Structures are given as structure tokens and as C-alpha cells.
Amino acid sequence: MLKALVPLVFLAAFVRSQAEEWQQCGGINWSGATTCVSGTVCTEQNPYYSQCLPGTATTTTTTTSTSTSTSSTATSSATSTPYTGSFLGGVNLSGFDFTVATNGSFSPPDAPPPTSQIGHFVAEGVNIFRVPTAWQLATPTLGGSLDQGWLSQYDEVVNTALQAGAHVIVDIHNYARWNGNLIGEAGGPTNEQFANLWSQLAEHYASEPNIIFGVMNEPHDLLSLQDWADSVQAAVTAIREAGATSQLILIPGSSYASAQQLPTEAGPYLLNVVDHDGTVGKLIFDVHKYLDSDNSGTHADCVTDNTAVLQTLVDWLQENGNRQALLSETGGGNTSSCETDLNSELAFVKAHSSSIIGFCVWAAGSFDTTYVLSVTPNPDGTDQPLWVDAVQPNLP
């Protein structure tokens, strides 16, 4: 029902004399309404997209253009083109993130994931792996240099996946924190220290086109959404200035990177984050959504297939310049309810791949087969029922 309404929503937006809150109001080649309803301000997100955002001003106008922008930060419309590569389907290889708590603390040891799983999954059609790690492993001293011992182990996993032809998400798994303190807030890591981490990682992987930079796992309980957007911008800028200019960057919202909350919480702020050339096509929203009763990913049974939530996300992405997201965490137990619901969810994602470009199921790697959401292969090489019935049918 919601999918059938989308064309009508867009038609209504074009025929109104004023754009509603959160709708587009300008940009290069824009031919729709250029004034906003009272209480909102038409705000430029980039040369190709302006949006009606809440503000104290009354109706505001913006000009549009059909010519190439003269902005020094925008090169051409081609650099704003959304991701159009292969649909991405795969799995989290957990282990370097073991013992990272939701307050951003870390207690060694970690457990590097076995590289043998990579060939197993690639043979089944997987073309993306997310490899989470503790920030404290990457730089044991806040603002310090990358630890070469950790990097050697991490590279073994990453390079094995790259050599197999897969994409790899380099994921810092610290919940927007270092030992309990929020990035960009009093007492926490500064944006400069956060940028320093990403500058070093980006320089190291700058020549690898199949690397995807996941700037932070599951930010939550943020004091300021604007401050978080500023921290994300600092990371994006550092990555590009380090020479990694071609790769996708995943930018997460609030409430544990909730796909459900992105449109109404951090999403409107993250729309202002731009790439080094003033464009946004390579900045992908990083979203998570589990299927159990409290969306925690801690229960074996599933109660929803999330398609209504994901349809709302798709609508929001399309309404905001055809932006894109990647579902980097989702999953369920090896139960009949999850086999049905996860299959339905992933089929929806694949059917809407122009907006949600892929998924990574949680989790394999160093989890044993008794873990409630395990998709780790059995010792005899067979797969978990959830993988066979829900994940494999929806791989690329």
C-alpha cells in the first residue's frame, strides 16, 4: 500500500506552490516549488539539493539553475551520481570487536575472525564483509598512531576478502565513544582525534577501491545531533584529505544507527554532511534494524519483517535527493519465525536496491555456533538454517 502511494506523494510535492517541511525546494535542475511553508527555511545541502528545514524564519525562497555550478567545492553533477554498482550482500565477521561495550570501553583480548570463512561465503555469493574492530586496538593511545601488530592481523582478514573480489567495510565499533566519553563532547575524544584515526586508516587503504569506510558503529544517547553531524563531517573530510577519494563512506545516525529513527532524528542533520567536492553520492547512510521484540538482536525469535519501517526509510531517502543507505547489521535466530521474517526483509532490501544498496547479516567470524544470532558455518562446513533459508536466497 505504501509503495503505491509514492508516485502520488511526489506529484503533490510538485504541484504545491510551497514545499512542506523536509521537502526539496531548490538546486541545480530543480523545477519544483522554491518557497517553504511558514516556520521552515530553504537551506542548501549541496549545489544540487536544497531542503525546507525547521527554522525561525517565515517563507523563504531559493534560486535554481540549469547550468553547471560555479561553486569551488563542486566539480560536476557526475560526482553526485548515487552508487550504481552491484547489489551488496554479505555478513559481519566479528572478533576484533569482542568485549567492546556500549559505553565505548574495551577489555582485551579480542578474537580475530578466521579467514577460512571468507572463501566459504564467497563461494555462496557473498560480495561484502563488515569487519568490526575496537578503536582501542587500532590506536591504543587516543590520537596516537595505528598499532602495527593489530594492523597486521586486521589486514590479513581484509586483504583475504579483497583478494576474493569482495567489498570490505572497515568498521570502528565504539558507539561514538572512547571509554565512556562521547566524541565531540566535553571529556570525550575531540573531532581532531577522531579525524586522526580516520586519516591514518584512509591513507592505509587509499588504493583499495573495494574498501568502504564505516566511520562509527551505533551511536546512541547523543547529547547533540548537530555535534554528531560535525564529528561525522570531520571524519569524512579526513578520509578524503588522506587520499581515499573514490571509496564509499558509511555515515550513521542516532539510536544505535536505527533505520527507523534516521528520518526523524539524526538524518536531517547528516544531510548537511558533504564530500570533499561538495557532493553526497558516495556518502551512504549506515543503518541497523533487528527483528526481535525490542530491536536489540538478543532474542532468537522474530516478530516483524521490518518492511514497513524500511519503506518509510526508502521514501525519506527518495524525498531527499535519492540518497542511499546500507543495512550493515540485521539478523535473527535459527528459528522458523526468523527464517520467514529475515527472508522477507532481505527480499525487500534487494527489491529496493536503488535506495538500500546492500546488507550485512550479524554475525559470523569468531562467534561459535551456539551464539543466538550465529550464522557461523558448522565444523563440517554446512550452514545454519537461517543462512540457508533467509540469507542465501537474497545474496547478489
pLDDT tens digits for 100-126? 999 999 999 999 999 999 999 999 999
Asked if residue 61 lies in contact with residue 68, where contact means CB atoms within 8 angstroms, the answer is no
Q: What is the pLDDT of residue 4?
A: 31
**Regarding predicted confidence, which is higher, 79 or 262?**
262
User: If you average pLDDT over residues 311-335, what whole number do you get?
Assistant: 98
- Number of structural domains in the chain: 2
Q: What is the mean pLDDT of residues 54-65?
A: 39
Verify that 318 and 198 share a domain, yes or no: yes
pTM of the model: 0.81
Residue 36 is predicted with a pLDDT of 82
Nearest to 204 by CA among 239, 233, 229, 249: 239
Q: If 0-12 CB within 10 Å is exposed, 13-18 middle and 19+ buried, where does residue 340 land?
A: middle
Using the predicted structure, report yes or no on whether residue 9 has a pLDDT greater than 70. no
The C-alpha cell that represents 182 in the structure block: 562521547
Q: Which one has a higher pLDDT value, 376 or 27?
A: 376
Mean pLDDT of 336-347: 98
205 domain-assigned:
yes
Report, as an integer, the average pLDDT of 41-59: 56
Residues 203 and 242: their CA atoms lie apart, in Å, by: 5
Is 234's pLDDT higher than 70? yes
Identify whether 72 is part of a domain. no
Rounded to the nearest integer, the mean pLDDT of the chain is: 88
- Within-domain flag for 80: no
In a domain, 282, yes or no: yes
Q: How far apart are CA 145 and CA 361, in angstroms?
A: 31
Cα–Cα distance between 264 and 312 in angstroms, integer? Answer: 11
Cell of 266: 539524526
Q: What is the CATH number of the domain that holds 172?
A: 3.20.20.80
- Give the Å distances, CA to CA, from 242 to 17, 169, 196, 200, 204: 44, 18, 10, 7, 9
pLDDT of residue 315: 98
Q: 152 and 44 in one domain?
A: no
Q: Which of 218, 319, 339, 345 is catalytic?
A: 218
Identity of the residue numbered 172: I
Tell me if residue 218 is catalytic. Answer: yes
Same domain, 128 and 52: no
> Residue 165 burial by CB count (10 A; 0-12/13-18/19+): exposed, middle or buried?
exposed
Confidence (pLDDT) at 50: 66
Q: Which residue range is the domain that position 153 belongs to?
A: 85-394
Reported as half-sphere exposure (CB side, CA atoms, 13 A), residue 389 has a value of 14
Statement to judge: residues 23 and 157 lie in one domain: no
Domain check: are 246 and 348 in the same one? yes
| Residues 168 and 274 reside in one and the same domain | yes
**329 labelled catalytic:** yes
Q: Are residues 123 and 58 in the same domain?
A: no
* DSSP secondary structure code for residue 392 in this structure: G
| Residue 380, pLDDT score | 97
- Give a yes or no: residue 376 inside a domain: yes
Are 88 and 127 spatial neighbours (Cβ–Cβ below 8 Å)? yes
Residue 2 pLDDT exceeds 60: no
Let me know if residue 76 belongs to a domain.
no
C-alpha–C-alpha distance, residues 89 and 389, integer Å: 15
Partnered with residue 359 across adjacent β-strands are 89, 327
- Asked whether the beta carbons of 145 and 196 are under 8 A apart, the reply is no
The whole-number average pLDDT for the span 144-158 is 98
Whether residue 174 is found in the same domain as residue 316: yes
265 and 176 fall within a common domain: yes
pLDDT at site 6: 30
166 alpha carbon, distance to own chain's centre = 17
Whether 343 is in a domain gets the answer yes
Please indicate, yes or no, whether residues 133 and 276 belong to a single structural domain of this protein: yes
- Considering the domain architecture, whether residues 308 and 345 belong to the same structural domain is answered as yes
CB 341 within 8 A of CB 357: no
End of a domain among 37, 66, 95? 66
Q: How many CA atoms lie within 13 A of 289 on its CB side?
A: 27
Given 319, 329, 339, 345, the catalytic residue? 329
Average of pLDDT values for 144-155? 98
- Distance separating alpha carbons of residues 158 and 174, to the nearest angstrom: 19
pLDDT tens digits, 268-321: 999 999 999 999 999 999 999 999 999 999 999 999 999 999 999 999 999 999
